[in-house]
Amino acid sequence: MKSKERVLRAIRHKEVDRIPSYFLSTPSISSKLAEKLEIKSSKLHYLESGHGELIDRLGNDVLFVWPNSIMKPERKFFSCGSVHAAIHSGTVVYEKMPLEDAKNVDDILNYDRWSSPDWFDYKIPEWMLPHLKEKAVCAYDMFILLLYAMGMRGMETLMMDMAAEPETAHAVFDKICDHHLERLRRFLTVNAGVIDIVGIGDDVAGQSGMFFSVEMWREYIKPCLKKAVELCREFKVIPYFHGCGGFSVLYPDFIEMGITCTGRLQTEAKGNNFAELKAEFGKDLCFWGAIDGQHILVEGTPEEVKEHVRTLLRNNYDGTGFVAGPTHSFTEDTPIENVLAVYEALNEGATV
């Protein structure tokens, strides 16, 4: 069974020959793995061929893609001024968020440095297309709302807006939603027939649960996500909500909206017992992640890591509806031997 077929069948809860997997890591971990596996190419970015070789050697089934930034150096604001983007660009640092002092909706709407969809190159390079044919292709981080809103307004100010100034909160979320919808439409249009899955997730929760009430999520974020799901439906791609923390209280809403995949199932977070969630929601949702990058991968031995993976496979009672991978990117403190142990156990397909 080819990787693309394996992933798509797992998402549709059909029989698979083994549980599919994905790989996410820091550049340092990728480089160490390449050295360990004697992959000579130094190009390990997801959009570069060397990483394709690493993915193949590990036996992974998913490739992540995203639009490339074409920002000019003189631009000082990037992707809604978010902290998330600042981390990735390495150049944007704020003592105060750009709209932290905005007093009303007009100040939000008239702000002249909102990011533009024109700041990105949406075409996946031609040379990469052969690498994508047999993999499930996931457009990654295409619809981050809360993190970008916090990056514009500041976390405390945004939360106060959501509690006491709903018109202001709606204005911020709607501006970011419109930006993401246009980016996603352009990306799917230019790469028609290439992309299978679209990541529309966001970090709406922490280890102890949601950052705010489900009712607030339904008022401010769900309407935007519905538009993203509708756009995915228009282009016949699969919507996948990924985020950190414990947000399983949203799963009934996901099912009602038509979101069929969710992850990355941070197993230490509230409400994220894999076996229990699989039993309750496994017929409707395909779970991604669940391999504990918080403790077991960092602190355990390779054999303990393998047993952790085997337990997940055993708890995946129907043998499908699961795409395995780390609950976050493999971090700098993850031993390389443990990363390799993850994929050794997955490729063995151990279920006993």
Which DSSP string do the residues of 103-147 spell out, in sequence order? -SHHHHHT-TT---GGGEE-PPPGGGHHHHTTSEEEE-S----HH
Q: What is this structure's pTM?
A: 0.91
- Nearest Cα to Cα of residue 99 among 84, 111, 86: 111
- Nearest Cα to Cα of residue 109 among 99, 119, 118: 99
For the four alpha carbons of 315, 3, 340 and 42, in that order, the dihedral sign comes to negative
Token pair 């499908």: residue:
320
Taking only the tens place, the pLDDT of each residue in 64-87 is: 998 987 765 444 444 444 444 443
Task: State how far the Cα of 247 lies from the Cα of 249, in Å rounded to an integer.
Answer: 5
Taking only the tens place, the pLDDT of each residue in 31-47 is: 899 889 988 754 444 44
Q: Is 303 exposed, middle or buried (0-12, 13-18, 19+ CB in 10 A)?
A: exposed
Per-residue model confidence (pLDDT) at position 46: 45
* Residue 340 clears pLDDT 50, i.e. is over it: yes
Contact 65, 125 (CB under 8 A): no
- 321 — alpha (psi -120 to 50), left (phi > 0) or beta? left
* Tally of CB atoms within 10 A around 262: 25
Taking only the tens place, the pLDDT of each residue in 231-249 is: 999 999 999 999 999 999 9
